[in-house]
Each structure stands twice: as structure tokens, then as C-alpha cells.
Structure 1
Amino acid sequence: MDKVDVQLLKLLQEDGRITVSDLSKQLSLSRPSVSERLLRLQERGIILEFSARVSPAKLGRETLLFIQISELKEEPHAFEEFIKHEQDILECHRVTGPISYTIKAAVSGIDGMRQLVDRLIPFGTINTSVVLGSPVPFRHLMPKDEE
């Protein structure tokens, strides 16, 4: 990646709806050149997807949770198949150490948390933390040497 690619990533992460025309103006490149760079970044797997960030709270999921699952009672693949279909789960990561999985979930209040925990209990020991605040809720990523 050159400096133009890095600047392109920065602009896209700041505004995912920016047009190719606006990108070309800000980068002082032709629209076909910008389009080619975007395609190359996608083909290389640097840009994974284009999507909208949505507020869980505005969709009735005001309670953000981090759940740790340890002492797994099922095979990992069985748990992973189950978790893929849980709509309250935003992220699920298999991790090293005494914890098997770390999950980020958004639910509708304490009752939603109880229901999710009840669905997870058969899979192992559950440790749930409710998020009180998020000083860094999301961060744009740049190449290490560009930070």
C-alpha cells in the first residue's frame, strides 16, 4: 500500500458513503484510478465490506454485554453453529486461556440479558458483564506505520 491507498482508507472510514467523484477530488486522482484502487484493496482483502454502523440502542437493544464462556460442555463446532444463529450476538471470538469464547451482545434490557444467558447456560460456565460506558466504542484502522 502506498500513501494514496492509506489516504483512501482514511477517507472511506470517515465517510463510507463518500462518492468516487469526491474521493477523486480529495485524492487528486481520476475516477477510474480511484475505482481501480478500491477494487485492488477489496481483492487484497484490506477492505472487507461496505456497511452502515447502526445504533443498537435505537433498535431497542440498549444493553450492551460482554459474555465469557468457559468450561465448554459441547464440541466447539456445535457451539459455533448455535451462536451463528443468535441475533443478539454482535461478535463471538474463540480465545486462548481459561476462557473458551468471548462474546459481545446487544439485548433489550435485563430481561433480554436473562433470556440470552439462559440460552447459553447449556454450553458452559457463563460470566456476563454489562457495559456501563464505552470511552472507545469504535476505532478506524490504519497501517501500523501510518498511525
Structure 2
Amino acid sequence: MDYIDYKILKLLQEDSRMTIIQLSKELHLSRPSINERLRRLQESGVIEGFTTRISPQAIGKSVQAIIQIGNLKCGCREFEEKIKSEQDILECHRVTGTDSYFMKTAVSSIHLLEDLVDKLIPYGQVTTSIILSSSISHRPLLPDIEEEELAKG
């Protein structure tokens, strides 16, 4: 992983619709070189896919929350299977500490959040925190590279 790969990852996370031509111009490399680097980053699993970010508010899902669940009354795998069908759960992370899972949700009303919490209560102790605002959202995930490589850019 060098500075050019780093820049490709940064640019694509800022705009995943950036074309090979745009990347080529931005990085002063040939299109075949960019294509080869992208292919290598995908084959190595660094780039898992390309996606679109959707604004929850713009589609009417303005109530966002973090739901924590601890003291599970079933096995972890069983719990994970049960919640896979819950479309309102956007993320689910198994964690260490007093809680077993942190989940992020986006729903259109407090009533729907309450319904979701009610579905989770049979599985353990549920704690819900409404997200008031997000000061950091969708920060690019970039590899650590040597200072000399960054200085080259």
C-alpha cells in the first residue's frame, strides 16, 4: 500500500462515483494504471464494494438511535439470526463490556422505535439512546502509511 493507493481510497470514499478518468487526472496516472490498482485493491479485499449513502431524514427516517442489549437470554448466534430480519436495524456490533451488542437504527417515529425495542426486550436488557446529532459521520477509513509516503504526495 503506497501513497497512490491511499489517495485512491480517500478519493473514492469522498465520491464513489468518481470515474477512472477523473482518478487518472487527479493522480496524474494513466487509466490502465488506475484500473490495475483498483483491481488489486478489490482482489485483496481492501475495497469491499461501492455504495451510496442515503440521508435518513430525506427519506423520512429522522429518529435515529443506538440500542444496547446485554444480559442475553439466548445464545449470541441465535440473537444474531433473530435480528437479521429487522430492516430498521442498520448496524449491529457484538462488543465487549457489560452489553453484548450495540445496534444503530433509523425509523420514522418514536412509536416505531418503541415497537422495535419491544421486539428486543425478550432477548435481554435493552438500553436506548436517541441520536441528537452526529459530529462525525462517514469519516473515510484509511490505512496507516509511513510519513515518508505521505510527504511524497
What is the aligned partner in structure 1 of residue 78 from structure 2?
A: 78
**Aligned equivalents of 2:30, 2:138: Cα separation in 1:** 31
Task: After TM superposition, list the pairs within 5 Å mapping 1:1-147 onto structure 2.
Answer: 1-145=1-145
Residues 23-67 of structure 1: per-residue CA shift (max 9 Å, x gap): 111111111111110011111111111000001111221111001
Q: Structure 1 residue 98: deviation in Å?
A: 1.2
Unaligned runs of 5+ in 1: none
RMSD value, Cα:
1.3
Q: Structure 1 residue 144: deviation in Å?
A: 2.3
Identity over aligned pairs, percent: 54
SS in 2 for 1:90: strand
| TM-score, normalising length: structure 2 | 0.91
**Aligned equivalents of 1:12, 1:76: Cα separation in 2:** 35
Residues 105-134 of structure 1: per-residue CA shift (max 9 Å, x gap): 111121011110011111111000001111
**Aligned equivalents of 2:9, 2:117: Cα separation in 1:** 38
Unaligned runs of 5+ in 2: none
Q: Structure 1 residue 80: deviation in Å?
A: 0.3
Moved over 6 A (4+): none
**Aligned equivalents of 2:69, 2:56: Cα separation in 1:** 23
**Aligned equivalents of 2:113, 2:96: Cα separation in 1:** 25
**Aligned equivalents of 1:29, 1:89: Cα separation in 2:** 41
Q: Structure 1 residue 142: deviation in Å?
A: 1.5
What code does the residue aligned with 1:122 have?
P
